A and B are shown apart, each in its own frame.
Chain A
Amino acid sequence: KAGVTQTPRYLIKTRGQQVTLSCSPISGHRSVSWYQQTPGQGLQFLFEYFSETQRNKGNFPGRFSGRQFSNSRSEMNVSTLELGDSALYLCASRSGPNTGELFFGEGSRLTVL
C-alpha cells in the first residue's frame, strides 16, 4: 500500500511569508505527527493529531499550527516565516496512539531566504 505522502517536497519562501505543508497518511492510519528536522537538533516534535483532534503539542511558537481533516489528511502551517524555520518537515502516521511504530514520509524541505 502507498506510504506517507508529503507535498510539496521542496519550497523556497522569504521571511515574513507563510507556508502550508500537506501530508497524506497511510490508508487506515488515523494518527499523524509532524516533526522538524535540522542538523544537530535531530527531530523536534511539533504536534500530533488523531481523529481531527490535536493530542499533543511540542514546544514551538504559535506561528506553527496544524489541522487534520476527516479523511486523516493533515496540514501544517507556518506563518511569518523566519530564517530559522528552514528545515526538513517530516510527517509520520500510524493507526492510532500507542499502536506501534511511526511511518515517515520523505519530508518537505523548506528554505527561508
Chain B
Amino acid sequence: AQSVSQHNHHVILSEAASLELGCNYSYGGTVNLFWYVQYPGQHLQLLLKYFSGDPLVKGIKGFEAEFIKSKFSFNLRKPSVQWSDTAEYFCAVEFNTGNQFYFGTGTSLTVIP
C-alpha cells in the first residue's frame, strides 16, 4: 500500500538554528511531492511542490526541499528558523496511480525565541 512517513513528530529549535524535516514515501511509480504548513489556527497552506525537473525546489519563506528519487525522500530544509515558523508541517505525495494525495502524520515545530 502507498504511504508517507514523517519521522520527526515534534521538533524544538532555537531561533537561527537550521531545520531539516524528513519525509519518505513508499514506492509507487511517478509522484508529485508537496510540503504544507499549518500555522496555529490557520488553514493548511502550500510551502513548496515538486513535479519534475531540478530536484532542489525552493518555496515560500526561505524553505527548500530536495527530492532524492533513489531514497524515496523529500526532506524539507531551512537554514535559519524564526519564531514565526512555529507550526505543523505535513509532507504529501500524489502517486500517479489514481492521483490521490497521501499525507504524513505531520511534524510539530516549535521555535524558541
Contacts and interface: CB of A to CB of B under 8 A. Distances in A.
Interface residues of B, number: 25
Interface stretch (B12-20, B64-72, B100-108): B100-108
Contacts of B44: 90, 92, 104
A37 to B, nearest CB: 9
Given A42-B90, A42-B106, A43-B90, A104 B100 contact: no
B70 to A, nearest CB: 24
A98 interface: yes
Contacts, number: 51
B99 A33 contact: no
A35 B101 CA distance: 10
B29 interface: no
B101 to A, nearest CB: 6
Given A56-B98, A98-B99, A100-B49, A42 B104 contact: yes
Given A100-B49, A101-B34, A101-B49, A45 B43 contact: no
A35 B42 CA distance: 16
Contacts of B36: 104
A66 interface: no
B100 A48 contact: yes
Interface in A27-52: 33, 35, 40-43, 45, 48
Given A104-B44, A106-B42, A106-B43, A42 B103 contact: yes
A92 B46 CA distance: 12
B58 to A, nearest CB: 15
A8 interface: no
Interface of B: 6, 9, 32, 34, 36, 42-46, 49, 51, 90, 92, 94, 96, 98-106
Interface of A: 3-4, 33, 35, 40-43, 45, 48, 55-56, 90, 92, 97-98, 100-107
